[in-house]
Amino acid sequence: MTTDFHRKEQPTVPTGKEWVRRLSDWWQPAVGEPDVEPELTDCRPTAPIALAAKGDAFDFSVRPTFVWRARRMHRTRFEHLIDLYTPEVLDALRLRSERVARTFEPHRSQHLEQELNARLPAMDWTMGPAGERLTCRPEVFVLPDPRVRESMQPYWRRRIEMQADHDLAMRRAELTRERTRAWSKVMEDLEDDPRSRHAASLVEHDAFAEVFTAMTQGRKDELLRLIDLLEQAGRSYNGIGLYEYAEGLDAALTDYRKRAGEDKRA
């Protein structure tokens, strides 16, 4: 009788050189050389620096931001060089800005900011060893001294109030113009009414215009005043024929009495 079987292989113990090779293969992906990047950019704000304003009684708070650039460099090396040269760049920024800041009054922080941002980035600052050159372009944001900001608050509160009053007045004027245009359209429509033309020809009087406008607003008491004015005009019909006058007056009075709720025959 025969039995099929496979011989059990004996385990082999790797030698010292084999252990080194295996460990090297396992660690290789983790410690491999990082990729070189063709273009690198990093924007870093830094702590504010104090620069004396004109008169040396107050300081400007200057908050720099540096934009760093490099070409064909490893990212870790790039960041290391930025950390290395940032103190040097801050010193250069301070030296170039101190004299400029002293020419500006303490409340002119915005003007100083514009001046520095026009001067500083005129040419990129270049630094670093050969083959690892960095460029740095600074930009600043400037605030006045906190004491100056506090003293300026009443001025700005008043200015805000004045601007709000101005905006309100302009809005009121616009609403008035809109209302005037609307009433002008109403008056134009009324002028097309023949009875209105008769009334206008009978009474050439400032009070008539006032009452006529009030009439279009539906005020009964002013309509009664208009009727009274027309009746007074009937006693002095200058330049109008008796028949034409009577016809126009009758039409106008009838219309306005109807609007006022007054019955002529009562």
| Residue 170 in domain | no
Tens of pLDDT, residues 213-257: 555 555 555 556 666 666 665 555 555 554 555 555 566 666 666
**pLDDT over 50 at 32, yes or no:** no
pLDDT score, position 2: 39
Residue 223: HSE in the Cβ half-sphere, 13 Å Cα cutoff: 17
| Residue 187 in domain | no
**DSSP type of residue 33:** P
| Residue 256 in domain | yes
| Residue 12 in domain | no
pLDDT score, position 256: 62
Lowest-confidence region among 6-20, 92-106, 182-196, 249-263? 6-20
Number of domains composing the chain: 2
Query: Which of 45 and 197 is assigned the larger pLDDT?
Result: 45
CB-based contact 256:226 (threshold 8 Å): yes
| Residue 80 in domain | yes
pLDDT score, position 156: 87
| 55 and 129 inside one domain | yes
Other Cβ atoms less than 10 A from the Cβ of 260: the count is 18
Dihedrals phi, psi of 187, to nearest 5 degrees: -65, -40
- For residue 220, the enclosing domain spans 193-260
